[in-house]
Amino acid sequence: MPKGYWVSVYRTISDPEKLAAYNELAAPAVKAGGGRVLSNFGRVVAHEAGITERVVLIEFESFEQAVAAYESEAYQKALVALPDGFERDFRIVEGID
């Protein structure tokens, strides 16, 4: 069964403190949903139309688990607290089996 991934590319981070507050709620929700952080706050080399802002990559045992974690009550509470201190491109993608 192919794994599932959350991929977040932050285009801008204008308020790091607000982002930290969101992360306080999101991190336990991701862990409870079975997510494993593979990349967060690491170095980025951008090519083509890419940008060098923060990239977060989280792995789940399946695509369905990744979707369920996003839809979970705990992560939905984190989304309610999602600050306007950043802009991100968030996707849930299926890996290759």
Q: What is the pLDDT of residues 48-63, one digit of tens each?
A: 988 888 899 999 999 9
CA pair distance 67, 4, nearest whole angstrom = 8
Domain coordinates in residue numbering, the chain = 4-94
Q: How confident is the model at residue 76 (pLDDT cuts 50, 70, 90)?
A: very high
pLDDT > 80? residue 83: no
Burial class (CB within 10 angstroms; exposed 0-12, middle 13-18, buried 19+) of 31: middle
Give residue 51's pLDDT: 85
Question: What architecture is the 4-94 domain classified under in CATH?
Answer: 2-Layer Sandwich (3.30)
